[in-house]
Chains A and B, each alone.
Chain A
Amino acid sequence: MESVHAVEFKGVTKRFGHNTANDHIDLYVDKGVIMALLGENGSGKTTLMNMLAGIYAPDEGQIFVDGREVSITSPKVAFDHHIGMIHQHFRLVDVFTAAENIVLGLEEKGRLDLKAASKRIKEISAKYGFDIDPDKKVYEMSVSEKQTVEIIKVLYRGADILILDEPTAVLTPQEIEKLFKVMKAMRADGKVIIIITHKLNEVMEVSDVVAVLRKGHHIKTVRTAQTTPAELTELMVGRKVALNIDRKEPVDPKPRLTIAELTVRDGDGIKKLDNVGFIAFGGEILGIAGIAGSGQKELLEAIAGLREIESGTIVYTPEGRHPEQLVGKSPMAIKEAGVAMAFVPEDRLGMGLVGGMGMTGNMMLRSWTAGKGIFVDRKAPEKLAADVLADLEVVTPGVDYPVRKLSGGNVQKVLVGREIASAPSVLMTAYAVRGLDINTSYTIYNLLCQQKEKGVAVIFVGEDLDVLLELCDRILVLCGGQVSGIVDARTTTKEEVGLLMTSVGGKEAN
C-alpha cells in the first residue's frame, strides 16, 4: 500500500480574475513534521493554505487528508478534518476573556461551562508549554498572548494540522523563541505544523522541510538540514541574488531634527508618545524599532504636523539656515520646509496614496498646489510618474491605471519613489518594504542609503530586526510610547533590541 500523507495537494489551482494564485500545486506533508512554506509576497502561500482551511475553494485539483479526498467548504468543515489555521490578523473579541474566545462558536450541547473549558485550556497549556491566563480579557493582552489564544483555540477544537500564517511578524525575538519551543512540543506530539513565512533564518531554525513557492508554482521541497539560506533564496527568487546593503559610515552628521519632551495623546486622551526626545542627524539612517503600536505612527505623524501635540518641541535645522520650530506649523508648511514622509500604514493606501487614481494623480498629491489659477498642472506629475515608473520598474499597464489594482510591491514603489523625488532633507518611512519581494526590498534599502549619502536625515521605522541592524546607523527603540533606548546598530544585538522593545530601558527581562 502507498504511504499515506497527513495532507496532500494534487494539481490544486486557484485563480482570481486573470491572476493565477496557485497553478497545479502538488505538495504533501507528513505527521510530526514542521513544514515551512516559503515564498515571496504574492507567491501564493496564503492562498494555498486558505484552501486547506476552508476559506477558498480550489478551482481545480484535489486535497487529501490522511489519504482521503476532502472538499473543505468552510472553516467549520476544516475543523471536522482537524485542520486549524492561525491567521495573521487575529480574530478575537476584545471584551471577552481568553476562555470565552476559545469556546466561542463551539456548538456543544448543554449549557456553557466556562470552568470546564478553563480546565481544559490549562491542560493544553501545560502539555505544550503555553503561558496563559484563561480569565484575562483580550484587550489587556499583548500581541503574543493574543496569538497564544488563537493557537489554543485551534488546539481546543482538536486540530492535528496547524497552519500558522506569518506568526512571527508581530513578535519580539524572545517571543519568537517561545513560539518555536511550543511548535517543537507540538511536533513531538505528532501534529502537523505548516508555517508560512518569508524569513529565512526562521525557516532554518524551526522547520524540518521547506516547500518553496514562486509565482503560484511549487518549485521544490527540500529537507532543511540539507539546504542553505543561499539556496533557498535562489529557489524563492528564481535566480542568484546578492543581498547586501551598502552601508557607509555617516559623513559629517549634523543635527537635522531635534525633538525634545514630545508628548502626544490620541483622540481618547490616551498617551501615545510620552516625553520622547532624540536627535536625527543628516547623513544618517535612524532606525525606529518597537512592537507594533508603540507610538511609531504617532511619532511620524507628529513630526509631519498631522497630529496635535500636547507638549514638547520639534526643531528643524535645514542645511545652512536657522533652526525653526515645527510644532504648530501646518502639514503644508512642514512639507515645504523639506520634511517628507513616506508613510506606509497597515492598510497601505490609507495615507499617502489615493487608490482610485493612477500614478499621475498620486504624484500630484505633492504638487497639486503648484501654479497660479484654478486649474491643476498635470504635465509635471505626468513626467514624474513616467520617471518613477522607469527608475523603479513599476509594473502597471499605464500611469493612469488605478494604483489600488497594482500589487502591493508596486504600490510601495509609487509611494517611496514619489517621496524620494521630492528631494527632501528629512525622509521618514514606515514599513517601507512591507509586502515587497526580496529584490525590490533591497532596491529600496539602497535608495535610502543613497539619500543618506546625500546628507538627508532618514528615519526608518521597521519591523524586521535583521534589516534594522543591517541598514541603520543608530536604532531608537520605542516601548509603550517612551524611548526605551537608542543603540548603535553596528554593535548591538537582536536580543538587546528585543529586550528594549518589551521593557523601557531593557531592565526587567522576563
Chain B
Amino acid sequence: MHEKTPLIRLSKREDMPKRRIWLIRLGAFVVALLLGMIVFWIAGANPLEAYESIVVAALGKKTGIRQVVRNAVPLLGTALALAPCFKMRYWNIGAEGQITMGAVAAAFFAINCKTMPSLPLLLLMGLGSIVFGALWSLIPAFFKSRWGTNETLFTLMMNYIAIGIAAWLIGGPWEGKKGSQIIPVFRDEAVLPKVFGVHIGWIIVLVITVLMFIYMRYTKHGYEIAVLGESENTARYAGMSVGKIIMRTAALSGGICGLVGFMIASGAHGTLYANVAGGAGFTAITVCWLAQLNPFAMIVISLLLAVLTRGSSTLQTSMGIPASITDIITGIILLCMLGCEFFINYKMHFRKSSGKEAA
C-alpha cells in the first residue's frame, strides 16, 4: 500500500523580486474589483456602470474631488500618526479618542476666545489640540511602560471615554440653544482657511507625510522605534530606555491625532460633533497596514478609500444601491490586499502524479 502525499504543501519563500511583489499586489486589487462586480450584480446593478459612477462621482467634478480630498485628510493624517506606534509594535487603536480630544481642545478655544484674531486663535487651537491628543495618548502609554498593561484594550477603551466627554460637553456645558444638544458653529475666525477649495489641512498632512518619512528613516528616534519594535531586549541591551521611548512615541502619535481632530472640527465641520472622528481612527489602521507603514504609500491608499466613500453616497442616490455595498467592496479590497501577502511569503506545491516536480 502506498499512502498519499498531501495535496497541497506550503513552503516559505524568500527574496521574491520587488517587481513581482508589486505585480501580485496589483493582481490582488484587480481580483478584488472582479469580486466586487459580483456583489454589484447580486445587488441588482450593472457592475461596470456602478464602477463608472463611483469614479465619475469622485473625480468627475471639482466638488467631487474636493470631497475626496476632504475625506482623505483625516485618514492620511491619522495613518501617519499610527505609523511610528505600529513600527514599535505598540498597538494604538485609540486614534478615534485622540482625534476627539484634539477636537474638544480646539472647540474649547474657539468657544471661549471670543475676541482673539484669526491667526493666533487658530495657532492656539492647533497647539491645544496637539497637547490634548498627546496627553490622552500618554495615559495608556504611561501605564504600559510602568506596569506593563495591555495597550490594545486600554487605548480602545479610552476612545469611548473621549467620545463620552465630547457628547457631554456638547449636550451640557457648551450647549448652544437650550435643548438643541449641539454647539453653535464656530465664528469665522476659528475656521481653517481654504486653499483650492479645501481647508488648508491637506497641505498640513502632506507636510507631515514628508516629516514622518524623514523621522522614521533618518533620525535617532526613528532608529529607537525600529529597534524596540523588533525586540525589547535588544533595545535595552543597546542602552535605550524603553519606557521613555514608548511614552514619547505615543505622545507624538496622539499629538498628530489631536491635530487631525482640530482639522476636522475647524476645517471640515466648523463645529464639534461627538462623533467628530467618524471612524477615521479605525479606518486609518487599515490605511497604515496596507501602506506597509510607508508614509507616501499612505497618500495613495487614503485617496483610494476616500474615492470609494465618496462614490458610495452617489451610488445610493443615482442607482439606488445601498451605500453599505461600498463597505462590502472596501472590505473585499482589504481582504484581497492583505491576503495576497500570503502568496508573497509562501509557495504552494501541488501533488504531482509523476512524483517529480519542478524546482
Q: Point out residues on A near B: beta carbons under 8 Å.
A: 15-18, 57, 59-60, 69-71, 73, 77, 304, 306, 330-332, 335, 341, 343, 345, 349-357, 361, 364-366, 368-369, 374-376, 405
Contacts and interface: CB of A to CB of B under 8 A. Distances in A.
A17 B2 contact: no
Contacts of B3: 70-71, 73, 77
Nearest to B357: A59
Q: How large is the interface on B (under 10, 10 to 19, 20 to 34, 35 or more residues)?
A: 35 or more
Contacts of A368: 220, 223-224, 238
A57 B233 contact: no
A73 B219 contact: no
B180 interface: no
A331 B237 contact: yes
Given A71-B4, A351-B233, A355-B231, 5 more contacts: A18-B14, A60-B355, A60-B356, A374-B220, A376-B220
Nearest to A354: B230
B220 A375 contact: yes
A486 B239 CA distance: 31
B230 A356 contact: yes
A60 B356 CA distance: 6
Nearest to A331: B239
B42 interface: no
Interface string B8-34: 010111110000000000000000000
B20 to A, nearest CB: 14
Contact of A365 (B218, B219, B227): B227
B12 A374 contact: no
B255 to A, nearest CB: 17
Contacts of B221: 374
Contact of B238 (A57, A73, A349, A365): A365
B236 interface: yes
Interface of B: 2-6, 9, 11-15, 218-224, 226-227, 230-231, 233-234, 236-239, 241, 347, 349, 355-357, 359
A57 B231 contact: no
B253 to A, nearest CB: 18
A304 B224 CA distance: 19
Contacts of A376: 218-220, 222-223
A26 B218 CA distance: 53
Contacts of A17: 11-15, 347
Contact of B5 (A18, A69, A73, A361): A73
Contacts of A332: 239
Contacts of B230: 354-357
Contacts of B237: 304, 306, 331, 341, 343, 351-352, 365
Nearest to A13: B359
Contacts of A365: 227, 234, 237-238
Given A59-B357, A60-B356, A368-B224, A69 B238 contact: no
A364 B349 CA distance: 40
A332 B9 CA distance: 47
Most buried by A among B219, B220, B221: B220
Contacts of B239: 330-332, 335, 369
B166 to A, nearest CB: 35
A352 B234 CA distance: 5
Rank and list the top 6 A-B pairs by shortest CB-CB distance, nearest first: A332-B239, A351-B233, A365-B238, A71-B3, A354-B230, A331-B239
Contact of A350 (B227, B231, B355): B231
Contacts of B13: 17
17 contacts: A15-B359, A17-B15, A57-B5, A57-B6, A59-B349, A60-B355, A71-B4, A330-B239, A351-B231, A351-B233, A352-B234, A356-B230, A365-B237, A366-B238, A368-B223, A374-B219, A376-B219
Nearest to B220: A376
A252 to B, nearest CB: 32
B219 A375 contact: yes
Nearest to B229: A356
Contacts of B222: 376
A335 B237 CA distance: 9
Contacts of A69: 2
Contacts of B5: 57, 71, 73
A368 B356 CA distance: 51
B236 A364 contact: no
A356 B223 CA distance: 12
Contacts of A77: 3
